[in-house]
Amino acid sequence: MLSVIYISVADPLIGEQDIAALLVQARRNNQRDALTGALIFNGHNFLQLLEGPADKVDACLAVIRSDPRHSGMVEIRRRRIDDRAFAEWSMLYDPNFRGHDDSLSRLAASGRLDPQDALMMENFIALGRRRPQGAGTVD
Ligand SMILES: Cc1cc2nc3c(=O)[nH]c(=O)nc-3n(C[C@H](O)[C@H](O)[C@H](O)COP(=O)(O)O)c2cc1C
């Protein structure tokens, strides 16, 4: 399996309602394609992890890349995996993932993971240990 993390710049007009609609679409497709992952949004940037069968992950990323709801998508981590980090989440969304806005903006500007981003990445991946309740949005 493959796991990819990317960062992108959200369309400035995007709000929580648009994200709710996006998640309905994403979760439906991801269930069909055996994809799992997580998404966060800090008001400016999306950070998303997508994992599953390599061909499905890449096909989905190609579709996501051309989505006008964001731009400037940069992959910051791509690795082969044996175990999923978000096995129970067709797409976890945590609107309260806060405290890492500096890391997110720096990452969006540089497109490269720095040692300073380690804590954010750790906290991001740790979201996958939560158990889904209801719609899959953590609140
Ligand atoms: C930040 C972001 C994350 C997305 N994540 C996913 C995803 O995980 N899975 C997915 O199928 N579509 C995702 N999408 C939506 C796709 O770009 C595309 O609109 C959708 O897959 C089309 O679905 P449809 O063929 O059912 O109309 C995402 C879009 C954005 C902007």
pLDDT of residue 57: 98
Q: What is the pLDDT of residues 31-76, one digit of tens each?
A: 999 999 999 999 999 999 999 999 999 999 999 999 999 999 999 9
**Cα 110 to ligand 1 centroid, rounded to whole Å:** 24
State pTM to two decimals: 0.96
Q: What confidence category does residue 18 fall into, taking pLDDT thresholds of 50, 70 and 90?
A: very high
Is 93 close to ligand 1, i.e. is its CB under 6 Å away? Answer: no
**Cα 128 to ligand 1 centroid, rounded to whole Å:** 20
Angstrom distance (rounded) from CA 30 to CA 112: 26
Is 60 close to ligand 1, i.e. is its CB under 6 Å away? Answer: yes
Domains of the chain (ranges; CATH) run 2-129 (3.30.70.100)
Q: What is the DSSP letter of 137?
A: B
CA dihedral defined by 27, 29, 32, 35, rounded to 10 degrees? -70
User: In whole numbers, what is the pLDDT of the chain averaged over residues?
Assistant: 94
